[in-house]
Chain A
Amino acid sequence: MHEHSGEPHTSNRFYVAIAVILAVLTAMEVMVFYVEALRPILVPLLMLMMAAKFALVVMFFMHLKFDGPLLTGIFSWGLFIAVAIIVALMALFGKFSA
């Protein structure tokens, strides 16, 4: 059983705040897509915002920030190897060469 009530990170208001941030980030992502002037930095900007949304959901909605390090380790390792494979395969298929 969790001891949950009363902590600031578990109030409904907190969750709604996170949801608002997620919505704003999504809107920003779409805006970046439509603004031509940002094209040169589109990819890094999008990656950043995507990562931010990802982290917010995992840390707060999935409560990982407040659970023990074991669960973070399990998730992080899965994520790390997955990203490494994505990057390695993309490199092997020439996606990072000019």
Chain B
Amino acid sequence: MKRFLGFVKKEFLHIFRDVRTLIILFGIPVVQILLFGFVVSTDLKNAPVAFLDLSKDEMTQKVSDKICSSGFFRRSETLLNYNDIDKVLRKNKTKAVIIFEKDFGRKLISEGKAAISIITDGSEPNMATLITNYITAIVNDFNSELAGSQAAGTFLVQPEVRMFYNPSLKGHFMFVPGVITLIMILICALMTSVTITREKEFGTMEVLLVSPLKPVQIILGKVMPYFLLSFINVIMILLLSWFVFGLPIKGSIVLLLAESMLYILMSLSLGILISTVSKNMQQALFISFVGLMLPTILLSGFIFPIENMPTGYDWVAALMPPRYFIIIIKNIMIKGTGFPYVWKETLILIIFTLVFIGLSIRKFKIRLQ
């Protein structure tokens, strides 16, 4: 035990001696959470739209004013003919073109029908559907105003909505848990995989292997300091997201911290596994960064909901540990649910941890080739 403690102390000294890494270690998550809490969002605001008004009358003026005053759109360009549409869209100057047909106002009044067509830039499908939906909704509002003057005395069905758990519809609620999850797994996996391969590459691993320490102790000793540092990191991030983004912690803090520890442990053991399969730091870094970054962003439900993925992908996504942690923190922090609601996810994270550790022990070689 004393031997082991001495080893842990040595590891701590290693880390604290490298002040620059230490600064980066704590600085990066803070800066990134701050940045992305503000930046990553899919809300529609001030999207540029162009108008092609073939009739130019009072009605079209009214409709386009209504669209532009909604706060979602701003007029970027006024087009004169159909050929301009392709030009502005190709230059990325505008996201959509709204076309009023000829004699719009006259037709609307005399025939009771007039047409607007919306052409959106489908190269960004999400934006395109959002814009189409919002403009359609605005025009429909206008329609019921029009009808309202004629259909006075008719009352309609009016829905009232309550947005549960996130009443002001903040994007932060979706993205901050995601960013925490992403940053923690990358940093933890990176740190551990690098420290162990570093010893291999510099040949100091040999020194450790011939020491009376058991392999398990070596690995535990290496992981311990990082476990503590990451835990401090998590607390810092949680405090930040509370103070800066007003992200509540509705559930039990103890449970949240316990789950975070489990997640850190899982990420660290993933790092160990990576280090046992890679021969040098470059390989370890390559796997833990290039290999992990994109799948974590895309398949964990961080930005793109897993429910919407094509069939078969729920199986692939099931293999992404971050996915479960995102569910856990969202449940505990935002909904305030207790352990009975997240026990399944917790169990899965535990299984992942055990599998990673088991594989690393099998792969760990006492002898150097």
A binds B: no
Interface residues of A (CB under 8 A from B): none
Interface residues of B (CB under 8 A from A): none
